[in-house]
Amino acid sequence: MKKNILLLLFLLPALCGYSQQKFKITYEQLKEYEGIYEYENNTTLQIAASPKDTILYAIINESKYSLKPQEKDIFLNMSKEKVTFIRNNTAAITGYTADGKTFKLISKKVFFPQEIWYPRLNASKDYKYVYQQPKKDLDGLITGNLDQSGLDKALLNEMMRKIVDGTYPNVHSVLIIKDGKLVFEEYFYEYNKTKLHEIRSATKSFVSALTGIAIDKGFIKSKNETVLSYFPDYTFKNLTSDKRQITIENLLTNQSGLDCDVSNPKSVGNETTMNYSNDWIQFILDLPMTDVPGGKGMYCSGNPITLGKIIERATKMPLPEFAKQTLFKDLGIKNFKWNFKPDASSAETFCQLYLNSRDMAKLGMLYLNKGLWNGKQVISKDWVQESLTKHSVVQGVNYGYLWWIKYLNVDGVRYNGKAAQGNGGQKIYIWEDQNMITVITGGNYNSQSPSDELIQKYILPSFNKKQ
C-alpha cells in the first residue's frame, strides 16, 4: 500500500537498482543511529542497525525498510530519496530530516533481538534441514506426515537451505496443507505458529468472505444493492447517474469505475491521500468516475474498505466483531488483531487484519472445501464458487470477488490457483487440482517477494511427475 510523501522515504518500491555504494560504514558506526524517532501522524518509528548485512532499517509497525548509506549521516531509501540525520554542536544525533520535515530523536533506549536479523539463529554454514511433522494443536487443523503427501522432500530440503542461507530473504513462514492435513510448517526470524503477522491486502479476501456471510444471513439483501444506498447521511461530490449505480458486486470485482487505480500515478484516488484523510468512505465515494460501474478492473483499496463499512451498517456491529461472531468463530480463530477504523488513525496500519499463519490457512481450506468446515456450511457454496470465478481483469490478472485467479508455470505445466495476497509476500494459495493449500508470509515490503518462486521451484514440481 502506498503512503504519504514522507513514507516514500521508506516504502516506495525500487523502480531501479541502487547505484554502486560509495560510502562504507561499519556496524558499530551504524548503531549510533539507532533509537526511537518521531514519525508522521503523531506516531513513532525505530531505527535499527542490522549486524547481518550492515544496513540501517526503519521499523514501522514491525515492518522493516532498508536505508543504505550514501554519505556521512545521509542514507538512501529504495527509491533513492535522502534521509539525513541531524547532529547537535556536540556531534550527537538529535533527529532526521525527510522531504523538508524534521523529526526528533525521542530515545536511544532500544533493544533489537538477534533473531529479527537471521532466518535461523546460529545456523551453521553447512546447515541441513531435518523434517519434523507439524504438531497437532487445539486450533482445529489436522496434521500429517510429508512422506504420504506426494510432495518432494528433497526439493523442500533445498528450499529450507536457501531460505536459511539468505538466498530468499525475509521469508517468515511456509505452510503446506495437502489432502486436508498440515504436512509442512516452518517459521523463520522471530516468527512462530502463534505470533500474529500483518497480512496486508490479503485482508481483502476476508472482507469478501464476510460480505458473503452477511448476504447469506440476510443482513445484506443482494450483491446488486447500490453502494450509495448505505450512506444516506453522506453528501458526495462528483455525483452522477453512474456513481449512483455502483453496486456491492462492483466493489468486490474492483470495477467501481471510480478514479482509484494504484497502478496509475495520475489517479485522483491515491491511497496515500486516502490514508491520511479523516473519512476514507467520504474520500473514496467523492472521487470522480473514470469508467462505468462494471467496466475496467482497477486495483483500489478503497473498494473493500467501503465494503467493510457497508457490512458494519448492515449488521449494526463493528466489522471485527461480526467476523468474531461468524467466520472466526466457525473456523476456531481466536487470536487476531483487527482495528477497522477507516480514518487517519489507520494511516499506518491500513485497517488490515493480523493473523497467525495457521489461521490464514483456514480461509484457504474453507474455500477449497466450498465453504464447508467441520460439517458446517460457513459460507454458501454458491458464494465460494462466484468468488473464485473470473469477473474482471486487474493489473493483467484474472480477478474474482477480491480473490486473484492466477496460474504458475512449472517446466511447461500450468498450475491454476486462487490467491489472497498482500504486500511483503503474504500469500494464501488454493490449488484445487492438487487438493492443496500453501501459505507463505514475509517481510519483502514494496519489493519483489520470493513467495511465488518458492512455490514454483520447490512445491509444485512434485506434481509434474504425476502428469
CATH code for the domain in which residue 55 is found: 2.40.128
Per residue in 210-249, pLDDT (tens digit) is 999 999 999 999 999 999 999 999 999 999 999 999 999 9
Instruction: Give the CATH number for residue 267.
Output: 3.40.710.10
34/28 Cα distance (integer angstroms): 10
Q: Does the residue 398 lie in any domain?
A: yes
Q: Does the residue 3 lie in any domain?
A: no
119/191 Cα distance (integer angstroms): 9
Q: Spell out the residues 6+ positions from residue 291 whose beta carbon is closer than 8 angstroms to its own.
A: 255, 257, 298
Strands (E), 121-277: 171-178, 181-187, 197-198
pLDDT score of 62: 86
Report the candidate in 465, 466, 439, 459 with the shortest Cα–Cα distance to residue 151: 459
Look up the pTM and report it: 0.94
User: Are residues 465 and 370 both part of a single domain?
Assistant: yes
Q: Spell out the residues 6+ positions from residue 111 whose beta carbon is closer than 8 angstroms to its own.
A: none
pLDDT tops 80 at residue 438: yes
pLDDT score of 13: 39
Q: What is the mean pLDDT of the chain?
A: 94
Per residue in 112-137, pLDDT (tens digit) is 999 999 999 999 989 999 999 999 99
User: Are residues 122 and 97 both part of a single domain?
Assistant: no
User: Are residues 37 and 125 both part of a single domain?
Assistant: no
Final residue in a domain of this structure, among 112, 147, 180: 112
Domain count, the chain: 2
Please check whether residue 437 is in contact with residue 420, taking contact to mean a CB–CB distance below 8 angstroms: no
Percent of all residues in the chain with a pLDDT value above 90, rounded to a whole number = 90
**Phi, psi of 294, rounded to the nearest 5 degrees:** 90, 5
User: Are residues 128 and 19 both part of a single domain?
Assistant: no
Q: Does the residue 209 lie in any domain?
A: yes
Final residue in a domain of this structure, among 87, 112, 137: 112
User: Are residues 307 and 417 both part of a single domain?
Assistant: yes
115/23 Cα distance (integer angstroms): 27
User: Are residues 233 and 370 both part of a single domain?
Assistant: yes
pLDDT tops 60 at residue 296: yes
Please state, in angstroms and as integers, the Cα–Cα distance from residue 222 to each residue in 256, 258, 340, following that order: 16, 21, 23
Q: Does the residue 396 lie in any domain?
A: yes
65/48 Cα distance (integer angstroms): 10
pLDDT tops 90 at residue 402: yes
Three-state DSSP class for 378? coil
403/438 Cα distance (integer angstroms): 15
Q: Does the residue 395 lie in any domain?
A: yes
Q: Which residues of 213-241 are buried (b: 16+ CB within 10 A; e: fewer)?
A: bbbbeebbeebebebbebbeeeebeeeee
pLDDT score of 446: 87
Per residue in 147-191, pLDDT (tens digit) is 989 999 999 999 999 999 999 999 999 999 999 999 999 999 999
- Find the helix packing angle between 302-315 and 203-216, rounded to 10°: 30
pLDDT tops 90 at residue 466: no
User: Are residues 311 and 201 both part of a single domain?
Assistant: yes
User: Are residues 23 and 125 both part of a single domain?
Assistant: no
Q: Does the residue 186 lie in any domain?
A: yes
Final residue in a domain of this structure, among 112, 147, 171: 112
Q: Does the residue 2 lie in any domain?
A: no
pLDDT score of 12: 41
User: Are residues 83 and 138 both part of a single domain?
Assistant: no
Q: Does the residue 23 lie in any domain?
A: yes
User: Are residues 106 and 126 both part of a single domain?
Assistant: no
pLDDT score of 81: 87
The 8-class DSSP code of residue 263 comes to: T
What is the domain range of residue 39? 8-112
User: Are residues 264 and 184 both part of a single domain?
Assistant: yes
Which residue's C-alpha cell is 496486508?
200
User: Are residues 213 and 296 both part of a single domain?
Assistant: yes
The 8-class DSSP code of residue 100 comes to: T
- Find the helix packing angle between 203-216 and 357-368, rounded to 10°: 50
